[in-house]
A and B are shown apart, each in its own frame.
Chain A
Amino acid sequence: MEEYNSGEEVSFNADEASVSVKECIEGIIGGLDYNQNKVNQWTASIVEHSLTQLVKQGRPFKFIVNCAIMQKSGAGLHTANSCYWDTATDGSCTVRWENRTMYCVV
């Protein structure tokens, strides 16, 4: 549900997007251990499914979905992102997920 009713302008709903993405991740790698052979498939699946779900919401947006899966082995990982866009309409959300053997950041 939109908080603002600003006529034709729609702003990005980060909460809804987060929920869709979390469900996708859970569905694809929930309960599995890090497997080098399968990681490529997993990242590709996660981005494709997430994108499909987001597009199904029918909002007038372009989407970019990025997914990083990292093995839990003590290494340090930092990510940052910066965006030059229209702050009234555009938005982003990040979902962090982990299980026993890996981290996933979308």
Chain B
Amino acid sequence: MDEFQLSEETAFVVDDITTIIQDTVETTIGSSAYQQNRINQWTSSVVETSLNQLSKLGKPFKYIVTCIILQKNGAGLHTASSCFWDNTMDRSCTVRWENKTTYCIVCVFGLAV
């Protein structure tokens, strides 16, 4: 039974995941301005690409990726999340990204299998 640190192959490494997500968002949206007719594509693309990259890591986790894209318009947005899981093995990480016209928030939850 692993009571100490999990080995590299089975741990949810927040930094790696953050990097992957940031790259994905940068590639998908980059410096594009908010466009209502492309938004659907962007959100789908961000979550699918992120999930593909995460599953390529080959770690024993189930993943849930959520993406929120919000136009910079002065509106207030609050999000919260609460999780009922295994505190020792499961983790989440949130990446906030913005450009001149858009905010993008991506949450990744990793549940150990």
A residues apposed to B, CB below 8 Å: 34, 36, 39-40, 42-44, 46-48, 50-51, 54-55, 61-86, 90, 92
Contact = CB atoms under 8 A, between A and B. Distances in A.
Interface in B13-72: 34, 36, 39-40, 42-44, 46-48, 50-51, 54-55, 62-72
Which of under 10, 10 to 19, 20 to 34, or 35 or more describes the interface residues of B? 35 or more
A65 B48 contact: no
Given A62-B111, A79-B66, A81-B66, A69 B78 contact: yes
Contacts of A71: 75-77
B9 interface: no
Q: Which of A80, A81, A90 has the most CB of B within 10 A?
A: A80
B70 A77 contact: yes
Contact of A86 (B55, B62, B85): B62
A68 B76 CA distance: 10
Interface of B: 34, 36, 39-40, 42-44, 46-48, 50-51, 54-55, 62-86, 90, 92, 107, 109, 111
Contact of A75 (B64, B75, B79, B111): B75
A41 B107 CA distance: 20
Q: Which of A66, A85, A92 has the most CB of B within 10 A?
A: A66
Given A68-B78, A73-B76, 19 more contacts: A39-B76, A39-B78, A44-B80, A62-B85, A63-B83, A64-B64, A64-B85, A65-B81, A68-B77, A69-B77, A73-B74, A73-B75, A74-B75, A75-B70, A76-B34, A78-B42, A78-B69, A81-B66, A83-B51
B78 A62 contact: no
Nearest to B109: A64
Smallest CB-CB A-B distances: 10 pairs: A80-B43, A75-B73, A43-B80, A82-B47, A47-B82, A75-B75, A81-B66, A85-B62, A62-B85, A73-B75
Q: Which of B46, B51, B67, B84 has the most CB of A within 10 A?
A: B84
